[in-house]
Structure 1
Amino acid sequence: MNRLYTDQIKCWVPAFFTPNYDEYVRSVCFVQNTYYVKHADKTPKTLQVKKENEILYYQWIPFLLLIKAFLFYIPRISW
């Protein structure tokens, strides 16, 4: 139940960022491709390592859910 109320995508933001910078970084983090890092691992430094662990589907999930909702609504329209 805790997953419903917390952020699923964690974006690292330096402590010295102002709230406006913090909001901007978090919005860019959600839109751009993300990559998976285990808790025990350090943040990847090279582009090659980032590309290997890249997650490409996060930013498309809202659009896919919207399309699915429309597809489920089509039978109601046709009846």
Structure 2
Amino acid sequence: MEKSFFVGLAGLAGFFASVYFASRGASGAVKDLEGQTDQLEASARQSRQDIASIVWVLSLTNALLAGILGALVHQLL
């Protein structure tokens, strides 16, 4: 098989795995914000939600790194 197939397959796997974990982290952060009355605690939890949303950007980086790993594995095989 061609190298581009392995690179694409690894890239897709890395992207979808990252999206899965990003959605789990973001939903957990949103759940933490529900029903908060204390403003200090709510702002701390809001910061956690903001940090969890950064993981969505990392999905693209992880897909790129998985593609590079796929190319390296293909070269070794």
TM-score, structure 2 normalization: 0.37
Q: Which has the higher contact order (CA 8 A, sep 6+)?
A: 2
Structure in which a larger fraction of residues adopt helix:
2
